[in-house]
Structures are given as C-alpha cells and as structure tokens.
Amino acid sequence: MSDNDYRLGCDIGGTFTDFVLLNDKTGEIKTGKCLTTPRDPSDAVEEGIRALEDTTPDFVAKLDELIHGTTLVINSIIERKGAKTGLITTKGFRDVLEIGREIRYAPYDIFAEFPKPLVSRRYRVEVDERIRSDGSVLKALDIEDTRRAVHKLLNMGVESIAVCLINSFENPIHEKMIEDIIQKEAPDISTSISYKVLPQIKEYERTSTTATNAYVKPLTGRYLSKLAGRLESIGFKGKLFIMLSSGGITSVETAAEFPVRIIESGPTAAVIAGQYYGRHFNIPEMFCFDMGGTTAKSCLIQKGVAGVVPTFEVGRVQRFMKGSGLTIQVPVVDLMEIGAGGGSIAKVSKFGTLQVGPESSGADPGPICYGRGGVEPCVTDADLLLGYLDENYFLGGTMRLDKESARKGVEEKIVGPLGVSFVQAIWGIHDLINETMAAAAKTHIAEKGGNPKIVTIAAFGGAGPVHAYGLAKKLGAPRLMVPPNAGVGSAMGFFTAPRAFDLLRSHKISLTEVNFADIEDIFKELETDATRILKKETFGDTIGFERSLDMRFVGQGSEINVSIPSGNFSTFSKADIRKNFDDTYKRLYGRTYPESEVEFINFKIRASLPEKLLQLPKLQVKQCKEATIKGQRNAYSSIAKDFIPYTVYDRYRLLPGDRFTGPAIIEEKESTMVVGEDATVTVDDFGFLWIDLNKEVQ
C-alpha cells in the first residue's frame, strides 16, 4: 500500500467531534465519535485519532489529507473570547460599527438590544485621509498622524489591529501605507487590512467583516498552529485542510490569514454532502437536515445545488431574529440554523407551558442520561425514554446512557410543575422540537421557492435520523433519505467538498460607460490572487475559474448575481451582458425594465482545483438476512398514541433490495433511524435507506 491512500475528515461540533477515515484505494470507510473538549478542541482530535488507530493501526503516517471543520471561530465570537482588537479608520468614520445600517430588527420593541461591536469605541482611532469614490486621492494620508494612532493602540495593549478606510476598495494605497507603518512599528502584531479581507463596497459590512477577522485571527492562528504541531507529534505528515463557510476547503495557512472565512466551517459540510448525494441520485428538490447535539442546520438544495449567499450574521442578541447580529460579508452556504439539538433543554416557561431550546446543555455537562452532571432534561433524555434509543448501544455501546436518572429529571422538572403525565411530558418534548424545526423549515423552503410536499428530506447528524420521520410528517414530505454513517455526515461531507476559494472586487460603473478591457484586467488580477492562494494546496494541478457579476439597475440598493460564460471579457458585447442581466432579473422577479440603465458593482471569481470526490462504495453481500433483526423494543407511536413493539434492525447487516414496513428502529453506531408504521423502508445498492411515507409494501 502506498503512503497516501487515506484521507481523514474531522468535524468538531458543539457536543461531539466526528471522524471519518476513507481509504481511497479500497473505498473502505471507518467512523468514530467522541465528546468535544471545549477547553482545548485538539484534545478530542487526538483522542478520536487514537481510537481509530485501534482498528486501523499506523494509518496516521499514511494519511494524504486531514480535512477539518471547527466551531472555534464562531464560538469565540459568541462567547467574546477573541483578541483585544483596535481599529484604524478614516476621520469621521469611527462609529460605523455602531451605526450599522440604522435598521431596527424589532421596530416596535423599544427595549430591543443590539450586539456590542467586537471593537469598543476607545479602541477605535481615526487617521486624517480621504479617497474619493472613484479611487482618486482627495486628501493624502498624514504619516505622523498615522504613526501616533498606531502607537496609541499599542500602548493600550491591543493584540490585533484592523484597518478599514473609506473607499479603499477602489484604491488601497493608504491602507498599504498604514500596513507598512504597523509592520515597522510592531512587526509581531496581528493585522487585518480591508483591501485583503474584503475589497468590497458598503462601508459598514466591510468594516464589520475586517474587524471580525482581526478579532479572531490570533486565537485561530494559535489553535491551528497547535493542532498542526499536535498532529505532527503523532506522526501526521500529510496536508491539513480547513472547511470554508462557502463549501470549499482551503489550506491551514489561508484559514489562519482569513479566519472570518471559516466561521460556518462545520455546519457547511453536511450540506455539501447532501449536494453530492442529490446529484448522484438526481434528486430535484432535497431538504438537507443535520441535527446534532446543540443545533439543527438545514438547507434547500435545488437541482443539485446548495445556494451560497454573500452575507450572514453571527452573535445574534435574538438568536433566530434577522438583523440582531453582527454582519459578516463573506460567501457562505445558505444555511438555516435552529436552536434544536439532542442537548436542547426542556423547561417550563414563564407562561407555564413547555419550552424546548434554544438553550443547550452542550457536551459538558450534556443531557442527564450522559451521566456527566447534567440536571436539566434534554431532547436526548426524552428520545431515550420514548424507546427510540438503546441505553446499551449509544455510540455503538461505547457510552452507556442512564435511563433512570433521565426519568427522575423529567418527573421533577417537567411532569410535576406542568401537572401532566409522564408520557405526555416526554412525547411533548420530542414533538415540540419537531414542531419548532418544521415551522422554520416551511419558512426556509418557501423563501427559496420550494414546496415541502415534494422535497426529499436527507437526514444527517446524531439526532437527525431520530427526528426526521416526525419532521417529514409535519412538513408533508413524501420521502426520506438516510445515507450510511449519517451520524457523522459533516465529516463525510469533507470528502465531497472542492478545493476552492472565492474572491471579489467592487468597482461601480454603468454598462454604457464601461470599458470591457478594464473589466478583463480586474478579473485577471483576481485570478492571479486566487492562484497564489491555491498554490499552497497543489502540486501542478490545473486551476479552474468561474466568473460572475453583481449588477443592478442604476439607483437600486441591492444587486443580483449574473453568471457569465468563460472567456476573455473584452470579447463579449454589451448586448450579451445586458441580456444575461435581464434574463436573471426576470427569472427572479417576473419582469425586467429594458429602458432602465444597469451598472456593475462587484466582480467575482471562484478558483478551484480538480475535485477529489468520495466514490460511494456498494454494499458487500455476505451476511445472512436473518441476522438483520436484532429484536424488538417498545417505543412510542404517534399514530397509536401509545407504546408499541418496534422491530429493531442492525443497519450494518441490511442487504441491497431489503424492504420492510414500520414500526422500525434501524441502529448504527453514530445514529438511530426511527420509522412509524405508515412508512416503508428500502435499502439500495449503496446502503442508503429510502423511507416512503403513506405507502404500502408492493
């Protein structure tokens, strides 16, 4: 066997850290899961790798790639554990971070709170300079004034400095001068310069994104350096990649330079896996649903493509209310996040009703049944007491659950205070979290022009398959798909992600005034920058480029993204570009305005290397069919409104073509699939479970 046959996916979640080991030569897949170690996430990484070595000795030295997704960046923002950060900006723009867009997310709530900026006002300093909107210099940078500003921040003890000047996306000359001054005065301090982080129009978004990058850059750099060193110490000699929020993967060096790009690193991977499966099975509308221990993430995938949006929010004051968070302007897969996971806490609300989430017990202490000191009943406790989980086979039997303690917790915290029966309490917890997810899913699907009654739901995560049937019933979805190793779906998704990086540059100019040769120069500059980034990840591979434009009618405040064919931009005609714009606008909004002038705002490229995708292995037929059934277990049926016998199947022994009706529970090490009596389960050649609702066995 050669030294580069293995790839390892490692996803650090809020509760569990997941591992998938892939042998590219044989197609063999092995999985692992361990509790996340919040104080030092690399502890769980090493623990999981050591556990995999028990079944695959010495694989670490044969690893070609380790692809990693982490919640470290977003957690440091939410918990405000980043670096003490300073901001240097143009005179008169010190308060951009607080002014924002002057939009109230709750216009009728006079007590509405807004997130505090990551850089407090005393650490924001101004320099005397000004660039016009066309890039010409109105007022030259005052060098001595700038040097004083830098020393002021250094004397205040900042660990990282963000630089964001007005209109620098058109001409970064002054930002480059400030960068040189900082390097001379304090060569070891971390810096984030807006022309590198986000050379894009819209001052608030650019400042917020650059400040966020600066805030998390020292922490991310230390973590990635420590992780790389720790991996090297246990014999890893391959390439370390990090998952990007946009669905690609990048080098550890690029992730350390632009950590704002990996804020949604972990959650994105399951969607990319769903996108790959949707294309493989030619599913036109797929609702990808990933429910872990802390949150549930979902995304509507249409025609095999998961949408990517140019902006998102983190650290929301009202977690699921748009406009209440910090705006980040980087490409990110269009995820919907819900405060619903196995660790979501159930309690009695101040109105005397049952409430589940959004607060989570996380990995430490976790649900009561974990036996790690948790005292608040959680969704996993309810799932266990409903009979859906086997206390002796959680994580394949490596972690025994405490059923009796979970029962006492529910009785004390829910049954007594609410005055309901025990069964009403545990079913209420399970059903309420499904209702919460279904309500959010209906909105998300509708916003994307989808129809919940025709989507196929793809279930991922440790808790996803447990709740997918109930979610499908509430949505009216006709079909479920559960891939093998669904409990570690995000880690599987790393193998389906392209090595890619997105770059853009803003330049506002109307279609009638533009010189297409100048636009070609902008695209060439972006492609040169992207090539420099991707060269860290390749040894001679050809880099491909996709180009697109953000355009709008003159006078509009929002733009649309218009794809353009490959080729030299200067060879296109203005009529061709206008037609592309009109066709896209009409598809989105039903009509266009041929008499109105249009303008360019942003020029975008996606640079990517040849894909090294996961090849789905087919099931090996070698087991006896009788061994597929492990036995029976009483579990709650939403149809019978009572506990009834469910047939328990061993997923690892199911054969291609197997077909059976519910009620059924299908168990694998990292997750459990629950199917009601009105559903039919079919196993395909690759071991995927296809669950059809309201259909009888043929």
Structure confidence by residue, pLDDT tens digits, 9-19? 898 877 778 89
In this prediction, residue 478 carries a pLDDT of 94
Long-range pairs for 30-34: beta carbons < 8 A, 24 or more residues apart: 30/55, 30/56, 31/485, 31/487, 31/488, 31/491, 31/669, 31/670, 32/488, 33/395, 33/462, 33/487, 33/488, 33/669, 33/670
Long-range pairs for 311-314: beta carbons < 8 A, 24 or more residues apart: 311/205, 312/245, 312/264, 314/74, 314/77, 314/78, 314/212, 314/263
Structure confidence by residue, pLDDT tens digits, 63-96? 888 999 887 788 788 778 889 999 999 999 999 9
Residue 690's pLDDT band (boundaries 50, 70, 90)?
very high
Is the pLDDT confidence value at 697 over 80? no
- HSE, side-chain direction, 13 A CA sphere, residue 314: 29
Domains of the chain: 6-70+222-261 (3.30.420.40), 77-216 (no CATH), 265-339+431-488 (3.30.420), 344-429 (no CATH), 500-608 (3.30.1490), 625-684 (no CATH)
Which stretch of 20-24, 213-217, 469-473 has the lowest confidence by average pLDDT?
A: 20-24
Average pLDDT (631-639) is 94
* CB neighbour list of residue 415: distance below 8 Å, 6 or more residues apart: 421, 422, 425
* CA 362 – CA 359 distance, rounded (Å): 9
Distances in Å between the alpha carbon of 559 and those of 485, 546, 554, 577, 600? Answer: 40, 19, 10, 15, 9
Q: Tell me whether residue 296 is exposed, middle or buried, using C-beta atoms within 10 angstroms of its C-beta: 0 to 12, 13 to 18, 19 or more.
A: buried
Name which residue leads in pLDDT, 80 or 369. Answer: 369
* CA 289 – CA 465 distance, rounded (Å): 9
Average pLDDT (44-61) is 88
Q: Residue type for 303, please? A: K
Is the pLDDT confidence value at 628 over 80? yes
Give the closest residue to 271 by CA, choosing from 303, 243, 311, 298: 298
Name which residue leads in pLDDT, 178 or 238. Answer: 178
Note if the pTM is more than 0.85.
no
Give the closest residue to 356 by CA, choosing from 275, 397, 410: 410
Measured over the CA atoms of residue 330, residue 333, residue 336 and residue 341, the dihedral's sign is: negative
The pLDDT mean for the chain works out to: 88
Report the percent of the chain where pLDDT is more than 70. Answer: 95
Tokens for 439? 């309500």
**DSSP structure class, residue 304:** T
Name which residue leads in pLDDT, 270 or 664. Answer: 664
3-state secondary structure 204-262: HHHHHHHHHHHHHHHHHHHHHHHHHHHHHHCCCCCEEEEECCCCCEEEHHHHHHCHHHH
Check residue 657 and give left, alpha or beta (phi > 0: left; psi -120 to 50: alpha): left
CB neighbours of residue 288 within 10 Å: 30
Q: Which of 19-23, 125-129, 267-271, 625-629 has the highest mean pLDDT?
A: 125-129
Name which residue leads in pLDDT, 93 or 697. Answer: 93
Note whether 130 and 154 are within 8 A (CB).
no
* CA 534 – CA 75 distance, rounded (Å): 27
* CB neighbour list of residue 664: distance below 8 Å, 6 or more residues apart: 646, 647, 648, 649, 673, 674, 675, 681
Tokens for 96? 């951009």
Structure confidence by residue, pLDDT tens digits, 456-497? 999 988 889 999 999 999 999 999 999 988 888 778 888 888
Name which residue leads in pLDDT, 266 or 178. Answer: 178
In this prediction, residue 459 carries a pLDDT of 93
Average pLDDT (644-668) is 92
Structure confidence by residue, pLDDT tens digits, 493-513? 888 888 888 899 999 999 999
What values do phi and psi take at 553, rounded to 5? -70, 145
Structure confidence by residue, pLDDT tens digits, 167-211? 999 999 999 999 999 999 999 999 999 999 999 888 999 999 999
Strand partners, 240: 66
The two most distant CA atoms of the chain are separated, in Å, by 83
